[in-house]
Structure 1
Amino acid sequence: MSAISIPADINRKHLETARRQIEQGDLEKAAQTLNKALRQMPNDARVFMLGALMAEKAGNFKKAEEAFERCNELAPAWAPGLLESALYRARRDQFIPAIELAEKVARIEPNNPRVLAGVVDIAHRAGNLSMAIKHLRRGLQLFPGDAMLRQYLANDLSSVGEHAEAGQIWDSLVQEHPDQSSLRYGRIKASVARGEPATVLADIELLQEKFPEDTTLAYYAELARGETPQHQPVELHRTMFDGMAQTFDTHLVRELGYQLPKRVADQLVQRHPNKDFNLLDLGCGTGLLGVCLAPMQGFLIGVDSSVKMIEQAAKHNVYDRFHTVGVLDALSHTPDQEYDVITCLDVLTYVGDLNDVVPNAARILKNDGEFIFSCETAPEEGPDLVLQSTQRYAHKRSHVEALCEKAGLTISTEELVLRQEGDYPVAGFVVTATKAVQA
C-alpha cells in the first residue's frame, strides 16, 4: 500500500459513499461525490479507480479505460487498482492486457486472497487453464487443504486431461465430506471425463435417490451401465457452453480451424443472392453464421440453450430475435411451414438421436426450404448412433440419409473435415435436405 500513503485519509468517507452509490446504480450522485473527493485530493488514484467503475456501469467504456489508465499511472504498484483494471479488461474480453495486469498484481501481493481469487477468475475468463492451475496450486500453498481451491483445481486438471491427479483430489474431498452432494457430483463428472463412468455408479445411484428428477444423473447412470443415452441433457451442455462463451470464437475458429459457418453462408448466398429468406439458426452459439450472412433482408432467429452464448451473439447486432431453449424443444414448439432455411451446425453432436429432429425440421420448413446440418461420422459397420469418448455423438451417414428420405426431404451430402481435435482431423458430413414443393 506504499503507493497510497495518506497520513490523514480525508477522502475515505467520500470514497466509501461513492462505492455504495455506484453499487446501487445512483451514478449521478456517485459522480458528485467523486468530484468532491477529486477537489480534495486531485491525484488520489482511488478516485480514478471508482470513476472507472462508474463509467463502466454507465456504458462509457472509453471513459472507463482512461480512468483506469490514470489510476495505474498515479499508483503503478497499488494492487487494488491493478486488480480492478485487470478484471475490467477481462470483462471486456481484452484478455492479453488482463493477464499481464493479473500476473503483475499477483507478484506485488502474492499472499492476498482477494488478489488470488481475482487472478484465478481472470484466467478462467480467458480460458487460460495453465495459468489458473498455477495460481490455484500457489493458493493451496498459502491455504493448505482449502476445499474450494481443491475443487477448482480438480475441475481444471480434468479439463486439461490430468485425470489421475483430478481423481485423487475428488476422492480425498468426498472422503473428507461424504455428505456433500456437490463433491460426489464433481467426482462423477471427472470419472466420465476420463472414460470410467462405471467406477462411480454407486455415487450416481446415491445422488439419484436425493435428486430423482435430475436428467444429467440419469444420463450418467446410462453411461455407467454401459448404455448409449439417446440424448444429452440440455443442462449438461448448457453449463459447458456458458463457461466457453467468452473464448469460443477464438478457440473454435483460430485453434480448431472451424470454417463451417462460412461455407454454409456462401452456399446460402449462392442460392439466395439478395439474402431475402427467413432462417432459424439452431444452436447459434456466438453467432458465427449470422456474422457471415449479415446483413440480411429476411429474419434471422437464433436458438441456443446457453444464455452466455446468446449474449455474445447479440453483440453482433445481426439476429432479429433469440430463444434460450434446447434444439428439441425449439423444433417441437415451432409452427408448420415457418422458415425458408433451418441450420444446425456442429450441434447435433450434443443432441444425439435424430428420429424426432429430422421430421420436425421438415414440418416447419416452407416448400422448397432447406435443412442444413452437420454430423460427426460414425462407422457404417456399427450402430446408427455412437457416443464417443469426447462425449459428442457421431451419426452413421446412411441412417441420417434414410431419416431424411423418410421425412420427404431430397438430400445432398458432403463429407469433410469439420475441425481439428488436438492434432487430429474430425471427420464429418454436411447434409442439405430440401423439402419438396407441395401442390
Structure 2
Amino acid sequence: MPSDPLSDYEQRMVWAYDALHHGDAVAAEAAMMEAVALVPDAAEARGALGALLRRQGRPVEAAEHFAAAATAEPVRPAWVLERARCLADAGDVEGAWALVSRLVVDRADDAASHRLAARLRLAQGDTAGALTHAREARFLAPHDLEGSVEVGQVLVDAGDPLAAAEMLEPLLAHAHPADPARAAALVLQGCAWAALAEGEKAARRWRQALEADPEDVGGAARLLAGLEAAAAAGGGDLTPTYIKALFDRYADRFDSDLTQKLRYQAPRLLRQALDAVGVGAGLDILDVGCGTGLGGVEVKPLARHLAGVDLSPRMVEHARARGLYDRLWDADLMGALAEAPGAWDLVLAADVLVYLGDLAPVFQAAVLALKPGGRLAATVERWEGEGPYALRESRRYAHAQEHVLAAAAAAGLAVEHLAPVAPRWEKSRPVDGLLFILRKAGA
C-alpha cells in the first residue's frame, strides 16, 4: 500500500520538533528538509525551517524558506516580516526595506514591523525616519523589554541615547530577574549612559549585566574594561552626544536659569570688548554654540549677516523664535567652522569652549573660517593648576592663560584683547574666566 505524503509530512514535523526539544539542530533540519520535499507548499515546515536557519546564522537560505511560506500562506504577514529580517541580516537593506515599507502601511499597529523599519531607515542614512519608526514602536509596545532593547539600540545609534536610557529605566526597574532580555537591556542602557558621559551609571549597569548573564553574551566585561581604561588615562573631550543631550534637556529653562540664577553675562562682556577694540558694523557674524540666541541679541547691531549654529536642535528652535538670525542650523562646532572657508568677519563663542579641552584645533579651524582681518571672540573659564586645561566637576573645562596664548600663536592668530572676567556665577560665587579677541592677519 503506497504511503500517504501528508501523513509522512506530519511525521517528519513531529520528529523535527522532538529533535529541537532535545537540542539536536542537525536532526531537526534533516527532518524539516524531508517534510518540505514531501509537501513543498507547506507554510509551517517552510517557516520552521527558516527560523532554524536564521538562528544558525544562515539568513540567505532562511529568507528563501520564509518567502515560500509567505507564498503558501499570504494571509500571515509574519512570514514577510521574517523574510525581511533575514534580508537585513544578510546586508540586503534595500530588499528588506521594500518588504517592510509595505508592512508598516498595511500593519500600522505592529510594533515589530516599526522596529525593523527603524533599523533599516538608519542603515539607509535616514536618521529622522529611523527615530519616527522607533518612537512609534515604543508607543505601540511600551512594556516589551526585548523589543525596547531593539528600539533603544536605534535611538543610541541615531544620536539620542538620552531617550534610550530614559525608556529602559522603568522597564528595568520592573523586569523579572530571570527575564532573558534583562541582561541585553542592562548592557544597552550602560552604552547609553556612556554616550552621555555618565561613566558611573554606565559601569553600574554593566556590572549588573554581568551578574544577570555570567556568560557575558553582551560583552559587558569588555565595555567595563574600556571605560575603566579611559578613566585611568584621564578621558578625552566631552562627547558631542553628551553636550547635545545636556542642552536639549536644558533648553526650555536655559534663559531664566542663566540670567537669573547664574548671572550669565558673557555675551554682554564680549560686546563691550568688541566695541573697545573698534569693531564696526556691517559684519558677517557666525555665533557658534548660539544656544537660545543671547549672544545674537548683543551682536545683531554689528551684523550684516548673522548666522547661528548649535549642537542642540531644541536650542536652535528657541533661537529661531527670537527672529534675529539670518540663518540657523544644528551642527557641531568644528563642522560649522569648516562649512564656509573665509566667510566670516567675526566668530563669536560665548561660553562654548568650556566643552572642549585642547583649544588648538578650534583655533586652527577658526583661522580657515575667518576672512583676512577677521576675529574670534570667546570666553573660557580660567585654570591655574598643573597642565594646559582641566575638566572640572561641573563637566566644563577650564583653560590656562598660557594655553590660550600658545594655541593662538600656533594658529597664527594675534591677541587683540585678553582680560580676566566673570562670565557667570556658580554656587553663589563668580566664576574666574578669561575673555579674548584673536585676530587673523590681513586687511
If the TM-score is normalised by the length of the shorter chain, which range does it land in? 0.5 to 0.7
Other structure's SS at 1:225 match: helix
- TM superposition shift of 1:204: 10
Count the aligned residue pairs.
265
Identity of matched residues, %? 27
For 2:406, which of 402, 406, 420 is the aligned residue? Answer: 402
Q: Which amino acid aligns with 1:374?
A: T
Instruction: Report the residue type matching 1:309 in the other structure.
Output: M
Does the Cα contact within 8 Å between 2:270 and 2:378 map onto a contact in 1?
A: no
Shift of 1:342: 0.7
Partner residue, 1:376? 381
Q: 1:200 to 1:327 in 2, by over 3 A?
A: same
C-alpha contact (below 8 Å) 1:279/1:341 kept by paired residues: yes
- Aligned twin of 1:351: 356
- Tell me by how many angstroms 1:209 deviates: 4.7
RMSD over aligned Cα, in angstroms? 3.7
Counterpart code for 1:375: V
Distance 1:324 1:175, change over 3 A: same
The change in CA–CA distance for 1:209 and 1:197 in structure 2 (over 3 A counts) is closer
Contact 2:259–2:265 (CA under 8 A) maintained in structure 1: yes
What per-residue deviation string (whole Å, max 9, x for no partner) do you get for residues 108-152 of structure 1?
xxxxxxxxxxxxxxxxxxxxxxxxxxxxxxxxxxxxxxx9xxxxx
Q: Tell me which residue corresponds to 2:285.
A: 279
Q: Normalising by structure 1, report the TM-score.
A: 0.52
1:388 deviates by 1.5
Tell me if structure 2 keeps the 8 A contact 1:230–1:353. Answer: no
User: Which residue of structure 2 lines up, in the alignment, with residue 429 of structure 1?
Assistant: 434
| In 2: Cα distance, 1:378 partner to 1:239 partner | 26
Q: How far off is 1:437 after superposition?
A: 2.1
Give the deviation of 1:196 after TM superposition. Answer: 8.2
Q: Give, in angstroms, the shift of residue 414 of structure 1.
A: 1.0
Letter in 2 for 1:360: A
Amino acid in the other structure paired with 2:322: H
> What runs of 5+ residues in structure 1 fail to find an aligned partner?
1-146, 148-167
Q: Distance in 2 between matches of 1:191 and 1:329?
A: 21
Partner Cα separation in structure 2 for residue 407 and residue 191 of structure 1: 30
TM-score (norm 2): 0.52
Q: Residues of 1 paired with 2:397 and 2:272: CA distance?
A: 27
In the alignment, the residues of structure 1 paired with residue 400 and residue 172 of structure 2 have an alpha-carbon distance, to the nearest angstrom, of 38
Cα distance change of structure 1 residues 286 and 178 upon mapping to structure 2, 3 Å threshold: same
Provide the residue aligned with 1:385 in structure 2: 389
Q: Which residue of 2 aligns with 1:302?
A: 308
Structure 2: tracts of 5 or more residues without a match = 1-144, 146-168, 211-215
Partner in structure 2 of residue 265 of structure 1: 271
| Residue 245 (str. 1) matches residue 251 (str. 2) | yes
The reply to whether residue 180 of structure 1 matches residue 221 of structure 2 is no
Q: What is the alpha-carbon distance in structure 2 between the residues aligned to residue 200 and residue 369 of structure 1?
A: 48
Which letter does structure 1 place at the counterpart of 2:395?
A: Q
Shift of 1:189: 8.3
Inter-CA distance 355–201: structure 2 relative to 1 (3 Å threshold): farther
Report which of the two structures shows the higher radius of gyration computed on alpha carbons. 2
